[in-house]
Amino acid sequence: MRMAAGQLKGRAARLARLMPSGPSSAARTPFVLLVVLLLGGGLITLLLLNSSLNEGSFKLSELKKKTTELTDQEQELQRDVDSRSAPDALERRARELGMVPGGNPAFLNPDGTVGGVPRKSTAAPYTPPPAAPTPAAVEPSAPTTPSTAPTPTTPTKAPTPTTSVTPKQPPTTSGR
């Protein structure tokens, strides 16, 4: 055992020589400043990240609101298009423009023969529905400009086109 105690003394002595016995010579101030700067930088980075996320959230909510408004506007326009493309509205507008129903069409076959019976399209003249009274009455003594003066809508009979289809001429159709 004596020997074991002597070996420990030798090892302890060697370790004691490696470790300084006095106050540490390393300065703690730069290390503390480094840690404080790292923590402060991390905090500032988190604050900047949070504020940019909040800004993006505000932009997102603004864009969602604008999308909702544009969707409402699109639906309103689609309802307007649907009402104008209804069959009865199309017929009324066509008659206002002087168009008449075409009847059964005649076709020119590839071999030059005519399919169907070509006829002249005729229809009764268009009579517009009675106009609704306007809410604001126009005084007759007040001068009116041509752009604001109400124009009477008396339909003029458009010349009806005559179609005579021969095997040498292509038939005229309404484009459908």
For residue 20, what pLDDT is reported?
A: 63
**pLDDT confidence of 172, banded at 50, 70, 90?**
low
For residue 83, what pLDDT is reported?
A: 92
DSSP characters for the chain? -HHHHHHHHHHHHHHHHHS--SS--S-SHHHHHHHHHHHHHHHHHHHHHHHHHHHHHHHHHHHHHHHHHHHHHHHHHHHHHHHHTSHHHHHHHHHHTT-----S--EE-TTSPEES-------PPP-PPPPPPPSSPPPTTS---TTTSPPP-PPPPPPPPP----TTSPPP----
- What is the pLDDT of the chain when averaged over all its residues? 75
pTM above 0.85, yes or no: no
For residue 131, what pLDDT is reported?
A: 65
**pLDDT confidence of 149, banded at 50, 70, 90?**
very low
pLDDT at 101 over 60: yes
**Residue with the two structure tokens 């020119």:** 108
For residue 134, what pLDDT is reported?
A: 60
3-state SS assignment for residue 73: helix
Q: Residues 21-75: pLDDT tens digits? A: 655 656 788 999 999 999 999 999 999 999 999 999 999 999 999 999 999 999 9
Q: Confirm if 155 and 126 have CB atoms less than 8 A apart.
A: yes
User: DSSP assignment, residue 137?
Assistant: P
